[in-house]
Homo-oligomer: A and B are copies of this chain.
């Protein structure tokens, strides 16, 4: 086990009806708030509840609507403008990862005189406005994470930044708000949270027994409850388990004391930047292909994964068969969720951009932990994912 620091300060407010008290939570920090949201018609009822709650506490609210998946830099600039013009001290995100990440970027961007994109190249974050979240789409874990991912359309890239300062102050998680999520989004979110666990689980750090088991606990629970949601999309308890899992998968807990991989995420981000693909769908395509390419670099870890997460029997004659059966079951599980598992299903029909994406993914150095990957390796993984 490696030395580590861990602190996750976000207050989780979980359960039925909890969004009704969002005004009370915001009032602990400010009397003015910028409310960032998708601004879709289906959210109208929720937005009324939130406005009423803010009004009830005498909080003046401003709006920033129209956030899209793979959120873009231009909405961040727009939000920073509104915040500065109206001297708004608090940002409330109502939505999923793209809304939360936009809110976070507005938060640290507004406190900085230069261009907020500087933080996505090399500048460390020193200061931010506080943020809060009403989560409607469990997936990215951004509601309690120290991360923020923004796409820069002008540069054709998608970049992540991390700082303990940008963890939201609170996150309101009402599973009922996720009942109306379309199946595709629900299951892409589930792939994303599983990937957040697997990127930490697939590590070459040894002697990480407890966090291994915590990872397996989350994966098994997500798998079980995803299958319930396939049959019953409005099962409260299954929605609740999935929602809580999304937060725990990415608040840092299951990565303590170990190196981490993140190669699948890096490749996935380049697919999203190039083709505007849904984040979770890039991961359901890349992760099994990545696993098939790297498993021999740490066979025992893939054996443990197969046995403990997918209940594969130990094959005394061939450990490799045990490991491969685990990867096969992971891929089959994704297929059962009706998410893409091939680049073709993702709409990527030709290999002409593989090298470009691979080079962008490995722009600073080789990626991954289980196996260090250069651009050539990434091209082979993309080939395996066809």
Chain A interfacial positions (CB closer than 8 Å to B): 1-18, 207, 209-210, 213-214, 216-218, 220-221, 224-225, 237, 240-241, 244-245, 248, 253, 256-257
In contact, B221 and A210 (Cβ under 8 angstroms): yes
In contact, A5 and B1 (Cβ under 8 angstroms): no
Q: A207-B241, A213-B217, A213-B218 are in contact. List 7 more A-B contacts (CB 8 A).
A: A4-B14, A5-B14, A7-B12, A12-B256, A209-B241, A210-B245, A214-B214
Provide a sorted-by-A list of 11 A–B residue pairs whose CB atoms are within 8 angstroms: A1-B237, A1-B240, A3-B17, A4-B15, A6-B14, A7-B12, A207-B241, A210-B244, A214-B214, A217-B217, A240-B257
Contacting residues, chain B, for A7 (C-beta < 8 A): 9-12
**Which of B4, B8, B244, B257 has a CB less than 8 Å from the CB of A257?**
B244
- Copies of this chain present: 2
Contacting residues, chain B, for A10 (C-beta < 8 A): 7
Task: Give the CA-CA distance A162 to B60 in the complex, in Å.
Answer: 35
Task: Give the CA-CA distance A210 to B215 in the complex, in Å.
Answer: 11
CB-CB nearest in chain B for A216: B217
Nearest CB of B to A45, in Å: 20
List 9 A-B pairs, minimum CB-CB distance, nearest first.
A3-B15, A213-B217, A207-B237, A7-B11, A210-B221, A217-B217, A6-B12, A1-B240, A210-B241
Nearest CB of B to A183, in Å: 21
CB-CB nearest in chain B for A2: B15
Nearest CB of B to A223, in Å: 11
Task: Give the CA-CA distance A185 to B14 in the complex, in Å.
Answer: 37
In contact, A3 and B12 (Cβ under 8 angstroms): no
Task: Give the CA-CA distance A209 to B228 in the complex, in Å.
Answer: 12
Nearest CB of B to A276, in Å: 32
Nearest CB of B to A171, in Å: 10
CB-CB nearest in chain B for A15: B3
Task: Give the CA-CA distance A218 to B209 in the complex, in Å.
Answer: 9
Nearest CB of B to A193, in Å: 11
Contacting residues, chain B, for A213 (C-beta < 8 A): 217-218, 220-221
Task: Give the CA-CA distance A17 to B4 in the complex, in Å.
Answer: 12
CB-CB nearest in chain B for A174: B3
Task: Give the CA-CA distance A221 to B257 in the complex, in Å.
Answer: 15
In contact, A256 and B14 (Cβ under 8 angstroms): yes
In contact, B244 and A256 (Cβ under 8 angstroms): yes
Contacting residues, chain B, for A217 (C-beta < 8 A): 210, 213-214, 216-217
Contacting residues, chain B, for A240 (C-beta < 8 A): 1, 207, 257
In contact, A221 and B209 (Cβ under 8 angstroms): yes
Task: Give the CA-CA distance A241 to B213 in the complex, in Å.
Answer: 11
Nearest CB of B to A205, in Å: 11
Task: Give the CA-CA distance A271 to B249 in the complex, in Å.
Answer: 40
Say whether, besides A209-B221, A217-B216, A220-B213, A241 and B1 are in contact (CB < 8 Å). Answer: yes
Contacting residues, chain B, for A210 (C-beta < 8 A): 217-218, 221, 241, 244-245, 248
